Amino acid sequence: MSWAEKVLKVDRRWIFLAIGIAVTIPFFLPLGLPVITTPPVQSLYDAVDELEPNAAPLLLSIDYAPATLPELEPMSMAILRHCFEKDVDVVVMTLHPAGYGLAERAVLNAAEEYDVTYGEDFAFLGFQPGVSAVILGMGINIRNVFPEDAYGTPLDELPLMQGVRNYDDIPLVISLAGWSAAEAWVYFAYQPYRQTVGAGVTAVMATDFYPYLNAGQLVGLLGGMRGAAEYEGLVQHPDQGTRGMDSQSVIHLLIIVLIAIGNTAYFMARRAKAPSGGGVS
Amino acid sequence: MMRRQIPLALCFIFGVFMTIQYFIPHHSVADMQERILMWLQTLLAFAFLLGTVSLIKLHYHKIRNRADDRAYSFVALAGLLTMIGLGFFHPSHNLPGSPFSQMFLNVQVPIEATMFSLLAFYIASAAFRAFRARTLEATLLLVAASIVMLGRVPIGDLIHEGLPQATRWILEVPNLASKRGVMIGVGLGMMSTALKIILGIERAWMGGGD
């Protein structure tokens, strides 16, 4: 058996082992690679940064499930820290049933780091079923959709929500989603109500959102862990996203090396098998 | 006969109303839209109930019929009933740190995150075995994928300063153009399907193979 054939028949468990090592080592030996900010992330950061402190709240829709948590939770933490740092009020909600616990965890963890008060500086509305109905309904009256917050307090009793009736009173909505929820915010909040919308999505989904970004339907976009790391850099609070970048760099490089080795071995094996004088078909 | 005509009539009336209400800026129409959206939310909440009942029935039948994999059905039902119990009946069910919340954060979150993270291993293995530059199209895909993979991570910036720029060009020009074309096609398809449903031409949603 030639070298190329041996490579092509390598036990895939060796590849799994290589990936495991490549993911793990950078967490213990950080490379500290610099993360350069890209325009879509800068735009979203600027949109949050321009919000008035202690005025109309930002609506953060944490629409992800545990499967996409590693990519999207760093985004929610970075955005929440940015808001709390600047005294921008935040209303958090979710359109995903599994997002309830994750949204609550993110907002409470971020709030612990700052001198902020529930009901005055931030609120958690919880989950309501029916993506399009929820988004459209909030454009008419938020209280029709969320009469109470997640803990049963009527919205009128939360100082933060007084004077907040619909999207006219919300300067910016950001959806962090590992599914089509972020698109739904474009369809049902931007399009009928001209609500300013930003999004944070997984890396594989990010390519789908460039048309919205290009058309101005999204004010900014965070794509995958890289997007989170860029935002963390802008708020000068490196955390999970920045740490994950080293692993992701090594993994991407390793996958490209594996593809190159696989292709080299494939063509060498094919050439060896080709009949002499016949060339490669 | 009525079993089919009433749903078709309701679908037509509400479909037409929700379409034309965008073009009628009158408060009575806005009030009706508000009411319909609230009904819609109530209906959608019932979908969760339907899903739960269906799940219980499926696993109950597997256990009753002594299916080979009934052990998984026991686990699924035990998990479902435990979470329903903690969610509905525990006094602090909706507070942070409640047993419901703890179960979710310490059982479901690691399980789902672990399942999804396994994808990285399979993608790497599949890329090694199947991602071959056999044709011009496959070669273009391979080259574009390699550039984007490197251009989206900080190590790409260090390898060559042109990689992030090339990545941006790929995402903002060919990717955007193809995505926009696909989206316009999908949008037109959605509109025609919606029209067929509203007008009662497409009736598969009613079931019964009609």
The domain locations on chain B are 1-89, 131-204
Whether the CB of A281 is below 8 Å from some CB of chain B: the reply is: no
Other Cβ atoms less than 10 A from the Cβ of A119: the count is 15
Give the closest of B48, B110, B172 to A210, CB-based: B172
pLDDT value at residue B208:
66
pLDDT value at residue B73:
94
Q: Are strands A172-177 and A58-63 parallel, antiparallel or unpaired?
A: parallel
CB contact under 8 A, A203 and B105: no
Rounded to the nearest 10°, the torsion over CA A247, A248, A251, A256 is -150
Nearest Cα to A109, choosing from A99, A101, A98, A120? A101
Whether the CB of A254 is below 8 Å from some CB of chain B: the reply is: yes
Per the CB < 8 A criterion, the answer to whether A23 and B120 are in contact is yes
Nearest Cα to A185, choosing from A218, A222, A221, A213? A218
pTM for the structure as a whole: 0.87
CA distance, residue A164 to nearest chain B CA (Å): 17
CB contact under 8 A, B113 and A211: no
Q: Which of A204, A213, A255, A257 would you mutate first to test chain B, the one with the most B CBs within 10 A?
A: A255
A152, two tokens: 């049963």
A24, two tokens: 């793990």
- Which chain B residues touch A66 with a CB distance below 8 Å? 108-113, 116
Whether the CB of A202 is below 8 Å from some CB of chain B: the reply is: no
Question: Is the predicted pLDDT of residue B210 greater than 70, yes or no?
Answer: no
CA A275 distance to own-chain centroid: 52
Per the CB < 8 A criterion, the answer to whether A252 and B152 are in contact is yes
Q: Which residues pair with A198 in a beta bridge?
A: A174
Other Cβ atoms less than 10 A from the Cβ of B180: the count is 15
Each residue of B101-133: pLDDT tens digit? 889 999 989 998 888 888 888 888 888 888 888
Whole-angstrom Cα distance, residue B169 to residue B166? 5
Each residue of B35-79: pLDDT tens digit? 888 888 888 888 888 999 999 999 999 999 998 889 999 999 999
CB contact under 8 A, B154 and A69: no
Per the CB < 8 A criterion, the answer to whether A196 and A171 are in contact is yes
Whole-angstrom Cα distance, residue B4 to residue B205? 11
CB contact under 8 A, A140 and B179: no
Query: Mean pLDDT, consecutive 10-residue segments, chain A of 281 residues?
Result: 82 91 89 88 96 94 92 96 95 93 93 93 92 91 92 93 93 94 94 94 91 93 93 93 90 91 88 63 39
Assembly ipTM: 0.81
